[in-house]
Every structure is written in C-alpha cells, then in structure tokens.
Amino acid sequence: MKGTLSVQVISFANQKGGVGKTTSALNCATSLGVLGKRVLLIDLDPQANSTSALGISKNAVKLSIYEAITGKAKDVSSTIIQTKYKNLSIIPSNMSLASIEAELSSQFGREVFLKRIMERIDSLDLFDYIIIDCPPSLGMITVNALVASNSLIIPTQCEYFALEGLTQLMMSVKAIKSRYNPELNITGILITMFTPRYKLSQEVLSELEKYYFDIIFNQKISRSVVIGESSSYAEPLYYYAKYSKSSLEYLEIAKEIVERLEGF
C-alpha cells in the first residue's frame, strides 16, 4: 500500500546509535537500484554519514536536505545529486541540519515539512523508492521522516536492551500513526551485525522472534569486516565487493523489501 503517494517512502530508523541504519539504508538503496528500481536516498542525519559514504564531501555540499526543508533551495529538485551508481540519486546532508530541530520547534505544521517535500518529489515522477537515513533519536527530524513515510525498516543488533529500544520505538510509531500518518507500516525489523556463533546473539534473536517473528526479515546481515572496508573506501558494498557475503545479503534484503511492498 503506497497510499496517496505513488513512490514508496521507506525510513530506516532506530533511536539507538550505531545499529546499522546508515549502512543498511545505503546498501538497500544501492541494491534496489541494481534490481532496476529508481532510488533516491535522503540523508536526514546531520552526521551526514550516507553523504560521505557515497564519496560526497559534506563540507562542499551547498544545497542539502536542510535547504530543501527550510525552503532556502529554489526547488527541491536542485538538491538532488545523481550518483555514479546505477539508478541511485541522493539528497545530501551536512551539519546545518543540526539546527533544524530548534528552527522547526516553534513553527506551525512542524511535523509535515518533509512530507511536503515527498509530495513535490513524487510529482517529478523520477523515483520508485525514497530511502531515508534517520539520525539516532526520536526528535523532530525522525518524526518528520515517519510522518513522510509509508514504510519503516528498523535495523537492530542482537544485543541486550534491543527489545527495550524496539518497544519504545513501537510506541512512537503507534502515536505517529494515529496522529499524523495512518499509512505508516512497519515493513520489517532488520537484524544487523549478526554473529550466529555467539550464544547471546542467538538468545536475543529468539527473544525478538517471540514478539516480532512475522516482521523480522528472513535474511540477517552478518558481522563482516568488508562493511567497514567498503565505507572507508566510500563505496557501496555492491560496487566495492559485488560477490561478498555482505553484498549478497543486502541484495536479498532488497528483494524481500520489493516482495513485502509490491507483493512479488
């Protein structure tokens, strides 16, 4: 179900830091592009990790998602950068986004700024998927992302407190769904940095499965050094090491996403 937009908008969110949001958003975006979908990645984090991971210098970015949200860019389309990777464009971020929470806080309709941008991008008919890389918080930036999305993917590690974190996030999703965005659905929980031989990983996974079995993606993302390497070379996995286990795992996830959202 795409609701009122014809583009699928997927937020990768988890208020916990370092769980693999950026790695997953970037590599799912790349993999969807490889599968033939036209993809726009939106870096919605002032840390600008997705931007850097695509080899774009965040200090050189003049037109970012900040200018799009605040209306300082002439048009949203001027903030879109086409990458050298198949079917992949990005709206970059930089530190200027850090002030947005304060700037929006007193404004009327502060929850729907990004939603308006999605509507504008949708009207351009350039993309099948928009992937949003969220910052590690449940502040106004993430609220904007969830209000603007029809799909949420939650990357999580199998470690202590994962379940508590998810419960808190689910409560926020429920509140946003009922107040602002009934079209928001959880497409899946994505297990990242998985090490099956660790007893703790297995224990936490079975705990998570007790509550969320039906939404956890079948494919898990293993912990792997290739992932660190590919980001230090500023290349998505598919282009850094096409046949690596990690690259194939993210391709599998992209296929599961298409299956869950498009029904085949």
Residues that bind Mg ion (CB under 5 A): 21-22, 49
Contact pattern from residue 100 through residue 139 relative to ligand ATP, giving x for each residue in contact according to CB under 6 A and a dash for the rest:
------------------------------------x---
**Partner whose footprint covers residue 64, from Mg ion, ligand ATP, none (CB < 5 to 8 Å by kind):** none
Contact status: 219 vs ligand ATP (CB under 6 A) = no
Contact pattern from residue 166 through residue 195 relative to ligand ATP, giving x for each residue in contact according to CB under 6 A and a dash for the rest:
--------------------------xx--
Contact status: 64 vs ligand ATP (CB under 6 A) = no
Judged by CB under 6 A, which stretch of 102-110, 115-123, 183-191, 219-227 contacts ligand ATP?
A: 219-227
Shortest approach of ligand ATP to residue 148 CB, angstroms? 18
CB count, 10 Å around CB of 229?
Answer: 15
Judged by CB under 6 A, which stretch of 56-64, 159-167, 217-225, 256-264 contacts ligand ATP?
A: 217-225
Say how far apart CA 167 and CA 157 lie, in whole Å.
Answer: 14
CB 26 within 8 A of CB 116: no
Relative to beta strand 81-82, strand 88-91 is antiparallel
Contact status: 223 vs ligand ATP (CB under 6 A) = yes
Structure-token pair, residue 109: 């309709």
For 16, 76, 200, the CA distances from 168, given in Å and listed in that order, are 11, 33, 22
For 52, 111, 245, the CA distances from 238, given in Å and listed in that order, are 17, 35, 10
**Partner whose footprint covers residue 227, from Mg ion, ligand ATP, none (CB < 5 to 8 Å by kind):** ligand ATP
Judged by CB under 6 A, which stretch of 20-28, 102-110, 196-204, 251-259 contacts ligand ATP?
A: 20-28
**Partner whose footprint covers residue 18, from Mg ion, ligand ATP, none (CB < 5 to 8 Å by kind):** ligand ATP
Contact status: 220 vs ligand ATP (CB under 6 A) = no
**Partner whose footprint covers residue 89, from ligand ATP, Mg ion, none (CB < 5 to 8 Å by kind):** none
Give contact residues for ligand ATP (rule: CB under 6 A). Answer: 17-23, 45, 47, 49, 136, 192-193, 221, 223-224, 227-228, 231
